[in-house]
Amino acid sequence: TIWAESYAVAEVKFFRHVARQAPRDTSHLKCLQLCAGSLVGTGFSTYTLKTIVMHLLNTIPSSSWRRREFLMRLQDIMWYLHGCLEEKRLHHFFFGNENMPEDIVLPPDTQTAKPINLFQYLVHDPTAHTKALREFSVLQDQLIRLVFY
């Protein structure tokens, strides 16, 4: 039997780590939930958005995820996704990530591995890339409607 490798436990540990570091009024999970809810009708997976949010949580201080910065963080998520689409590159959060919190123990090869591009398919398929950019516009419109209406 061959088992697909999963990083679900590491993801849970990462979000627990963030929760321990974050102020009480943090909004990172609300950002993730709202973005995930706006994915309907697009080709983006919740895993894509979760990966983006994890990258941002690892780079933006937890004090900047307070409710009063909610709209700024949503904007950061969308800018990050758009940049990844333009570059046709979204790195897996765990592979090759040298900025992993110490309490998340991964196999040594994982951290020293070359980053895995989750958007590799966009590099070789111009039609898929065009479609992804179109779906980004749909996602952005849906998110705006959810937030402001």
Give CA–CA dist 73/53, Å, rounded.
9
pLDDT in the model for residue 96:
86
Tokens standing for 69? 């910065």
Q: What is the CATH number of the domain that holds 67?
A: 1.10.1410.40
Start-to-end CA distance of the chain, whole Å, equals 50
Q: What is the pLDDT of residues 13-69, one digit of tens each?
A: 999 999 898 888 888 889 888 888 888 888 999 999 999 999 999 999 988 999 999
- Please give the Cα distance from 77 to 30 (Å, whole number): 12
Residue 86's pLDDT is 98
Instruction: Domain of residue 76: give its range.
Output: 3-148
Question: Residues near 39 by Cβ (< 8 Å), separated by ≥ 6?
Answer: 45, 46, 49, 139
